[in-house]
Amino acid sequence: MAMRQTPLTCSGHTRPVVDLAFSGITPYGYFLISACKDGKPMLRQGDTGDWIGTFLGHKGAVWGATLNKDATKAATAAADFTAKVWDAVSGDELMTLAHKHIVKTVDFTQDSNYLLTGGQDKLLRIYDLNKPEAEPKEISGHTSGIKKALWCSEDKQILSADDKTVRLWDHATMTEVKSLNFNMSVSSMEYIPEGEILVITYGRSIAFHSAVSLDPIKSFEAPATINSASLHPEKEFVVAGGEDFKLYKYDYNSGEELESYKGHFGPIHCVRFSPDGELYASGSEDGTLRLWQTVVGKTYGLWKCVLPEDSGELAKPKINFPETAEEELEEIASENSDSIYSSTPEVKA
């Protein structure tokens, strides 16, 4: 029986959502952070989209956001020439790292002791978070603004992307190991530790490379310009989104398009699978995040599959909202009116 995809819509941002990231799986579930041009990154429960809090402090658009593995720290990159590190539990700002230009990307090492940043000044910076007063290590070599920078190979190497180049760096020697050149602008980059796979999007292409050697593995062509793509943790599926407002799902092994969905009202800027692979999140020019089921109709999070009596109809997953959810959010907002928590964004079908 055919099942209809019913995404959860996470409201609250007032400008385009340009980046998002999931934490690892913790004893409290997993979490989702979003970066937005409104300058107010938001933290949510990953499997439901329920709003937890808003990090207040940036004075410009936030271009990048990430969480460490256990979701105890967050980091953000912004147009106010700073990167900030936050306590993701209390929402307190832990440190502000001043830069000389717009910061676009941030990434923690696995032990959360170091932060990698990159931005418009073409430099990679490595900050020792245990010595915030110390000057960062700097790596130069990019010829245009850095869009994404990621630790890889157990933090022994660094991957970074500027306009049309992806570079691999050795952390110990701070030198370039290899580079990839493209004939059009690189729009996104994702690193998959299991299998050392690098996912790169440019134009309509979704390309997969070895993160160790940068050698090509395979590539797919999409029907529209793609801004972001993500590989399923089990490497079964690839999801991608871009300029035509649609999300595309592909079989990773064959490259066959399995599904496509239109839910956003603007271009899709970012898409990522959850750490358990049960859903993927998308962020758009329309100012919303949407959560989509990997396997439509499965009971998970707020989704509960309800089969209609008339088998000729499409089965539609039902969205269950806890009765106390709104009350709990209002209580949290009230108790923390002077901290990170602001208005109560909605999560709806």
Residue 245: predicted pLDDT: 96
pLDDT at 341 over 80: no
pLDDT at 349 over 60: no
DSSP 242-307: ETTSEEEEEETTT--EEEEEE--SS-EEEEEE-TTSSEEEEEETTS-EEEEESSTT--BTTEEEE-
Q: How confident is the model at residue 308 (pLDDT cuts 50, 70, 90)?
A: low
The CATH number given to whatever domain includes residue 155 is 2.130.10.10
Which residues, in sequence order, are CB contacts of 20 under 8 Å at separation 6+?
32, 33, 34, 35, 65, 270, 272, 281, 283, 289
Q: How confident is the model at residue 316 (pLDDT cuts 50, 70, 90)?
A: low
Residue 316 maps to a domain: no
Stretch 142-156: mean pLDDT: 96
Residue 335: predicted pLDDT: 42
pLDDT at 338 over 50: no
Residue 309: predicted pLDDT: 59
Residue 304 maps to a domain: no
Residue 264 maps to a domain: yes
pLDDT at 197 over 80: yes
Token code pair at residue 276? 């358990």
Strand, helix or coil at 64?
Answer: strand
Residue 127 maps to a domain: yes
Strand, helix or coil at 329?
Answer: helix
pLDDT at 270 over 60: yes
Residue 292: predicted pLDDT: 97
Q: How confident is the model at residue 344 (pLDDT cuts 50, 70, 90)?
A: very low
Domain that holds residue 110: 8-293
**Mean pLDDT estimate for the chain:** 89
pLDDT at 103 over 70: yes
pLDDT digits (tens, 9 = 90+) for 224-256: 999 999 999 999 999 999 999 999 999 999 999
pLDDT at 195 over 60: yes
Residue 235 maps to a domain: yes
Q: In total, how many domains does the chain have?
A: 1
Stretch 277-297: mean pLDDT: 96
pLDDT at 307 over 80: no
pLDDT digits (tens, 9 = 90+) for 10-20: 999 999 999 99
Residue 214 maps to a domain: yes
Stretch 318-341: mean pLDDT: 42
Residue 232 maps to a domain: yes
Stretch 4-14: mean pLDDT: 93
Residue 320: predicted pLDDT: 54
Burial 50-82 (b: 16+ CB within 10 A, else e): bbbbbbebbeebbbbbbbbbebebbbbbbbbbb
